Amino acid sequence: MVLTRFRLVLAAALIAPFSLVTLCPAQKAKPASHVSHPWDDKTLSPDRRADMVLEQMTLEEKLGMVHGIGWGVLREGAPYPADSNHGAGYVPGIARLGIPKIDLADSAVGVRMSAFDGRYSTLLPSALALASTWDLDAAHLYGEVIGRELRAQGYNMSIGGGMDLTREPRNGRNFEYAGEDPVLAGNMVGRLAMGVQSQHVMGDIKHYALNDQETLRNTINVVMDKRAMRETDLLAFEIAIKMAEPAGVMCSYNKVNGDWACENDYLLNQVLKKDWGFKGWVLSDWEATHSTVKAANAGLDQEMPGEDYFGQKLKDAITARQVSMDRLNDMNHRILRSMFAAGVIDYPIQRSVVDPFKGKEDAQHIAEESIVLLKNEGGQLPLVAGKSRRIALIGGHADVGVLSGGGSAQVDAPGGNAIDPQHGGTVWGKPVYFPSSPMKAIRKLAPSASVTYISGDDTASAATAAKDADVAVVFATQFMTEGADAPTLSLPDEQDALISAVAAANPHTIVVLETGGPVSMPWLANVSAVLAAWYPGIGGGESIADLLFGQANPSAKLPITFAKSESDLPEPNIVGWAERYPTSDNGGPRHAPSVDLHYKDSLAVGYRWYEVNKRQPLFAFGHGLSYTTFQYSTLHVDGQTRTVQFVVTNTGKLPGAEVAQLYVRLPQAAGEPFQRLAGWERVQLASGEKRTITIKLNPAWISTFDDKADRWQLMPGDYGIEVGGASDAISLKGTIHFSE
């Protein structure tokens, strides 16, 4: 009997650890040592739960939450904080209260620095490519991929969600952002952040605000009136923040109207927190904190990545009552409530294996919707397999892969840089190609053709190769990275001359662009087709091939204007370029001169500027062709319900998707003589199919901001309604009247 009991106890002891593992589903498991706390009750609101934790916290614990610890792997020789996941930032948890650490990773276009831990991350198409899809579901999916892979790698916060509007088309980070229109960018980035947070990972939107160029980013002072700010760059943030309620908003490096963005009472306290009701926390960009008392009182909640200002100095300021205890509590409340709201406390992170196949499938789906067919003369595309017997591929390392963007958005390529695999990892400032070979994908789709590749380093041999082929496809690349803007709109490395020489040798020349943003095209009239593939991600090679051969029908539309040349830009020369320290790789050093940046016609951002200044763009905002054709008809507007209705018909022979765009023109009294995007719908239509589209106007997107009264106003009067397939291809026009 005694023996039996002993055996039972032993058996139970042996089985217990295993049964614990099998009984607890991975994402819901609480650690065995978990002590339950009153705030574990999921039926309570995140705010209530945060307050309950806050009541138990010591001063030291509160101070510990409001700054990061160290630089992780970002600085050579810097120690890793114990327990950190080697991402860009880390804030220790409070074990006794069951509050986990915050482990955050850069993840603008996929999780950064995963190779450091021998892990894999999916490289998505650039964020600008995502914006070219105008597909809100694709944006959600994009965020889901990032959130899912962050979780799998042990992170619980994303620092992606780039949102700065394209005011400077040469900006090195445009590929991380969502274009030049506030309504498009706000909606796309908002959905992206929702996708991240759907995975129980905290989301972030950055860089708040007006960090629209890298040149002198650490010192430049953007001077802009409230109306222009609120109706453009800040409107984009407002839309996304209200939609997604992200955990974090990262304030930027630059100054706005004289104050650093991270100690700017107007931006942080008055607009973000008071007007928009943002409940999350403001974290500084890395070393963008410049003070303790001013920053804390202006609304900065957390210094990243270290504790120069929000460590001992904040403690001293609290003791001296220069910063109130209420304010410190508010900082903590914001962080804690965001952790509860996103679910990172209820669903603790459990490392698992990233699924590269699922990642690639998602990336490729987004890429196929994101590649813009800019020109297609005489139906050059799609190519017909079997018809073009000799296809010459030229340049852009199209034999091995596709280009990615650099800086803190750089994702590590599996197997190392495809053009230099023996040197493995990524190096800041060096272009990284991903192993998704357009050549291999094209060979697969055209098995009977002779598909050759030549590097394009030698223009004469490239021209000879083109001459001997039925079709020549030039892959032109432009590497862009955080910390540096492009000096001009031209493709680098004499690729314009290469394309011209190839086009002169072969009348069937197609150009595939892999660029961070818009480029000029002096050769445009001489080539028959152009595809803007941006940085197309890990499925890029296959996506480009599918579109070239009509396996997929292009449906993307430009989220950004392509200018003919620099002389058509608001600033022909980048402001601050001359003052920028020539050897710096990071937008200019912190002691660089502070130059004022007054954007010309600042209210007329992007395509609006071209209209106001009567400049003809090379390709207009919203432009993008398809292999089928669409017709717009039967416009109905209704001022009472504020709706616009119209019919889109696929009049071509192929199925395809159209992004039907709705622009408004405000009443004359508004003093805004330009189009404003007010809505759109992406519709998939079979050949001959028609669809009635109804768009309800959102007053918040077509209002004006009254500086003096400090409020929004929907002007009474007649609004011009314009519907079509691009900002410069308006098919239907009407007027809608709003009374007071």
List interacting residues with ligand BGC (CB under 6 A).
74, 88, 106, 159, 206, 285-286, 408
Say if residue 298 is exposed, middle or buried (CB neighbours under 10 Å; 0-12, 13-18, 19+): buried
Can you tell me the distance from the alpha carbon of 248 to that of 261, in angstroms, rounded to the nearest whole number?
15
Pick the closest to residue 670 from 708, 701, 702 (CA basis).
702
Listed in sequence order, the residues at least 6 apart from 408 whose beta carbon sits closer than 8 Å to its beta carbon are 88, 106, 108, 112, 482
Backbone angles phi, psi at 197, to 5 degrees: -70, -20
Say if residue 277 is exposed, middle or buried (CB neighbours under 10 Å; 0-12, 13-18, 19+): exposed
Q: Which is nearer to ligand BGC, 109 or 244 (CB)?
A: 109
For residues 714 and 702, is the Cβ–Cβ distance under 8 A? yes
Q: Which is nearer to ligand BGC, 88 or 282 (CB)?
A: 88
Can you tell me the distance from the alpha carbon of 338 to that of 54, in angstroms, rounded to the nearest whole number?
13
Can you tell me the distance from the alpha carbon of 98 to that of 348, in angstroms, rounded to the nearest whole number?
10
Can you tell me the distance from the alpha carbon of 45 to that of 63, in angstroms, rounded to the nearest whole number?
24
3-state helix/strand/coil string of 449-473: CEEEEECCCCHHHHHHHHHCCCEEE
**What six digits make up the tokens of 383?**
């190519």
For residues 562 and 618, is the Cβ–Cβ distance under 8 A? yes
Residue spans of beta strands (DSSP E) within 261-355? 281-284
Omega before residue 305 within 30° of 0, cis: yes
Smallest distance from ligand BGC to CB 93, Å: 20
Smallest distance from ligand BGC to CB 53, Å: 27
Is position 285 annotated as part of the catalytic site?
A: yes
Pick the closest to residue 124 from 515, 407, 537, 436 (CA basis).
537
For residues 483 and 172, is the Cβ–Cβ distance under 8 A? yes
Among candidate residues 106, 285, 399, 728, the one labeled active-site is 285
For residues 595 and 611, is the Cβ–Cβ distance under 8 A? no
Can you tell me the distance from the alpha carbon of 542 to that of 544, in angstroms, rounded to the nearest whole number?
6
Q: Which is nearer to ligand BGC, 181 or 204 (CB)?
A: 204
Can you tell me the distance from the alpha carbon of 474 to that of 98, in angstroms, rounded to the nearest whole number?
56
The catalytic site residues sit at: 285
